[in-house]
Amino acid sequence: MTAYSVLAVTPTDDSWIPGYIEPVGKIIAKHGGKYIARTTSHEQVEGEDQPAALRVILEWPDAQAARDFVNDPDYAPYLEARHKGSTSVHFIIDGKDELA
């Protein structure tokens, strides 16, 4: 079942970003993922304010592929750099409608 990663990222030190984008894109592709959105153009229309500079949505073949990406040893130094240089949250969401 298709799954999605949804991230909210606010850089606190953007020095990690140039060295992150290309290699992480290759690691994402290795796990069958693809970017749906990487944008600073987003608007919160409901709920308590949860600001973020950047919103990212990735599509995966399934949730395991997303977890495999997050746990890939090749990704570890990039994940560490993102954690050190930003505040961010990452959700993995199954692509299903449980209320239908």
The domains found in the chain, sorted by start residue, are 3-42+51-94 (3.30.70.100)
* Residues in contact with 57: Cβ distance below 8 Å, sequence separation at least 6, in sequence order: 4, 5, 6, 7, 35, 36, 37
In this predicted structure, what is the pLDDT of residue 37?
98
Q: What is the rounded CA–CA span in Å between residue 35 and residue 66?
A: 12
Residue from 71, 69, 72, 87 nearest 14 by CA: 87
Cβ–Cβ < 8 Å for 55, 7: yes
Cβ–Cβ < 8 Å for 85, 8: no
Q: Over range 82-87, report the average pLDDT.
A: 97
Q: Could you read off the pLDDT of 42-75 as tens digits, one per residue?
A: 999 999 999 999 999 999 999 999 999 999 999 9
pTM value is 0.92
Q: Over range 25-46, report the average pLDDT.
A: 96
